Amino acid sequence: MQKALIHFWHSAHGPQEVFLPHIFHSIITHDIKINGISAELKKTKGANNLANYAKKATTKQGANLVVFQIDESSRDVYFELSKLSKKGIHGFYYFTGKTSALKSF
């Protein structure tokens, strides 16, 4: 079992280090849950940041799905979403200001 190193700087005996059992790496909270599946909400203007946001949501933030709010619709957006799907990253998207339902990728 891994242990976490905790520093106590405001101790009566000066700085001290204590090892405690490492129960979790960090507290992860997700923006939303869809049918019990954790998902992260990401807002972007267009296609340029879709891959970076999806990678961060699924690797660093541990989400299973990504939900994109995208400001501008273009062929590049659809192309990037299809690339994410082929890489095994899935989720939903919608366009800002449109009243349409979420679409999956």
* Count of C-beta atoms within a 10 Å radius of residue 38: 17
Q: How far is CA 72 from the centre of its chain?
A: 21
Three-state secondary structure of 57-83: HHHHCCCCEEEEEECCCCHHHHHHHHH
CA atoms of 55 and 80, how far apart (whole Å):
13
Q: How confident is the model at residue 103 (pLDDT cuts 50, 70, 90)?
A: confident
pLDDT score at 19: 46
- Residue 28 is predicted with a pLDDT of 57
50 pLDDT higher than 90: yes
pLDDT of 22 > 60? The answer is: no
Mean pLDDT taken over the chain: 78
Is pTM beyond 0.75? Reply is no
In this predicted model, which residue has the larger pLDDT, 26 or 87? 87
